[in-house]
Amino acid sequence: MKKKALKKPVKKKLLAKSLTQKTRSAKGYNPVAPGRVSEILHKLDEMYPDVTCALHHRNAWELLVATILSAQSTDVNVNKVTPPLFAKYPTVEAFAALQPQEIEPDIHSTGFFRNKAKSVVGAAKMIVADFGGKVPDNMDDLLKVPGVARKTANVVLGTWFKKNIGVVVDTHVTRISRRWELTKHTDAPKIEQDLMKIIPQEHWTMFSHQVIWHGRTLCMARKPKCAECAIEKLCHAADKTWSTVDIHPAAL
């Protein structure tokens, strides 16, 4: 009796050919099956057991400001901007006493600095006037604050207040959730709703942190390091650079 040959890994040069062929999922394959999702979460825990938000902060207000500044910017750049900014204006009350144009030079390098300045100063004024100088710890009130949308609120609630109210959906979470076939959507609100349905609530905040780190270290937009990834056998993405499993053309 002949031994069954082992399936060889598909190298990058073979992926293009495989994509021209009709690729069928295994019968009964369900990308959001609880078992598969649980295994992905387990692998993330193994790879990134202690990760947290990369934005430097000492309190909820600093995290809120840093998150507002991070839009269309990098965390590395924001972390260069915020230390001198908070040294110059150490409290939310100090920010509330400003006019937006006063901090524009301090945050210029983060991009869209005029709108961000209006948001930060507007947020400070409302927090001082309506919330006694304390950043709200609930979604409804946070969404009233200038410059705060659901993503920013999720960062503050999950990271600082340790409340799993939602899933932070940034560019990394968007891209990787689609690669893993956990969603077919491209807009953040719908992606978040899909993820909240399949990921246990106690994992929402950590899942976001872990996927963001995964996107920075291994699963990059270009040339992901698939051969080094512990989740490779669970991933059927069409843009993999190395694969030991079938490729699904729609997984992008």
Last residue of a domain, one of 118, 139, 160: 160
State the catalytic residues.
151, 170
Position 9 scores a pLDDT of 53
Please check whether residue 120 lies inside any domain of the structure.
yes
For residue 190, pLDDT beyond 70: yes
**Cβ neighbour number for residue 123 with a 10 Å cutoff:** 25
Range of the domain at 34: 30-51+167-243
For residue 13, pLDDT beyond 80: no
* pLDDT tens digits along 200-214: 999 999 999 999 999
For residue 154, pLDDT beyond 80: yes
Mark whether 132 and 222 lie in a shared domain: no
Give pairs for 233-240: CB < 8 Å, separation 24+. 234/36, 234/39, 234/40, 234/43, 234/180, 235/179, 235/180, 236/25, 236/181, 237/179, 237/180, 238/15, 238/19, 239/179, 240/10, 240/15
* pLDDT tens digits along 71-122: 999 999 999 999 999 999 999 999 999 999 999 999 999 999 999 999 999 9
| Number of domains present in the structure of the chain | 2
Residue 35 belongs to domain with CATH number: 1.10.1670.10
Give pairs for 32-41: CB < 8 Å, separation 24+. 32/181, 32/182, 32/198, 34/198, 36/234, 37/182, 37/198, 37/199, 39/234, 40/180, 40/231, 40/234, 41/199, 41/200, 41/203, 41/207
How far apart are alpha carbons 147 and 112 in whole angstroms? 12
pLDDT band at 20 (very low <50, low <70, confident <90, very high): very low
Mark whether 70 and 139 lie in a shared domain: yes
Please check whether residue 14 lies inside any domain of the structure.
no
Percent of the chain with pLDDT strictly greater than 90: 87
The number of residues making up the chain comes to 252
Position 27 scores a pLDDT of 60
Mark whether 136 and 193 lie in a shared domain: no
For residue 23, pLDDT beyond 50: no
Mark whether 38 and 93 lie in a shared domain: no
User: What average pLDDT does the structure give for the chain?
Assistant: 91
Please check whether residue 86 lies inside any domain of the structure.
yes
Residue 6 DSSP class:
P
Residue 89 belongs to domain with CATH number: 1.10.340.30
How far apart are alpha carbons 162 and 232 in whole angstroms? 30
Position 251 scores a pLDDT of 83
Cα 107 to chain centroid distance, Å, stands at 22
pLDDT band at 12 (very low <50, low <70, confident <90, very high): very low
Tokens standing for residue 48: 């990134």
Last residue of a domain, one of 160, 180, 205: 160
Please check whether residue 21 lies inside any domain of the structure.
no
Please check whether residue 12 lies inside any domain of the structure.
no
For residue 47, pLDDT beyond 60: yes
Mark whether 181 and 154 lie in a shared domain: no
Last residue of a domain, one of 160, 195, 229: 160
Please check whether residue 18 lies inside any domain of the structure.
no
Mark whether 64 and 155 lie in a shared domain: yes
Position 98 scores a pLDDT of 98
Q: What phi-psi label fits residue 57: left (phi over 0), alpha (psi between -120 and 50 degrees) or beta?
A: beta
Nearest Cα neighbor of 98 from 125, 119, 78 is 125
Position 160 scores a pLDDT of 98
Alpha carbon distances (Å) from 207 to 43, 134, 138, 154, 229 = 11, 27, 20, 12, 16
Mark whether 149 and 66 lie in a shared domain: yes
The torsion angles phi and psi of 135, rounded to 5 degrees, stand at: -65, 130
Please check whether residue 248 lies inside any domain of the structure.
no
Mark whether 109 and 180 lie in a shared domain: no
Position 79 scores a pLDDT of 98
